[in-house]
Amino acid sequence: MAERSLLNQLIDALRCLPGVGPKSAQRMAFHLLERDREGGARLARVMADAMARVQSCRRCRTLSEHDLCGICANPKRDASLLCVVEQPSEIVAIDQATDFRGLYFVLGGRLSPLDGIGPDELGLDVLEGRLRDESIMEVILAISPTVEGSATAQFIADFAARHGVKITRIAHGVPLGGELEHVDGGTLALAFAGRRDL
């Protein structure tokens, strides 16, 4: 058999996108090749650039191609409020749905010693450094209310107490086990408004 055609290679490669099966991949490949070469070429450029250059913001650990992300570098954000989330996508959801305009910190997961995820993997040393060095008045935990999430929240509450920083947790309007970025904006806004001391 001859080498795989570029068309088939493109269909295969599109399968790395979440939710894209063989039929969708084929439809996407034909659409780009027959109707939108320019869009496909631009997407290819931006994707290559993003895969190579996007890294972690050194202050909040969200995805950014800069040393400091747009939020951390924005002097208009309220630096006295810090919201701790599990994933970068949750920052987008919170910023769109609520009037929170403080700063963020991305854990990238929850404490899970059995999976080798300890405080260092979640950057909790970096987070504690911020509570020590910055003028943060309140830490708002937007961590899912699972066993591991609660252990993570307690770990953070402990060192927040040592540094005399108030700590709150968003209200449990968020469904158990639900991922924050899939919660509707209204629920998320209510959860923020109803946050309470931990």
Count of residues binding a copy of itself (CB under 8 A)? 52
Binding-site string for a copy of itself from residue 131 to residue 170, where x marks contact by CB under 8 A and - marks none: ----------------------------------------
In the complex, what is the shortest distance from the CB of residue 16 to a copy of itself, in angstroms, rounded to a whole number? 3
Q: How far is the CB of 47 from a copy of itself (least distance, A)?
A: 4
43 is a contact residue toward a copy of itself (CB under 8 A): yes
39 counts as binding a copy of itself under rule CB under 8 A: yes
Q: Which long-range contacts (CB under 8 A, 24 or more apart) does 94-102 make?
A: 94/142, 94/180, 94/188, 94/192, 95/71, 96/185, 97/185, 97/186, 97/188, 97/189, 98/188, 98/189, 98/192, 99/189, 100/140, 100/192, 101/76, 101/77, 102/77, 102/78, 102/140
Interface residues with a copy of itself (CB under 8 A) are 2, 5-7, 9-10, 13-14, 16-19, 24, 26-34, 36-37, 39-54, 63-65, 69-70, 73-74, 87-89, 92, 181
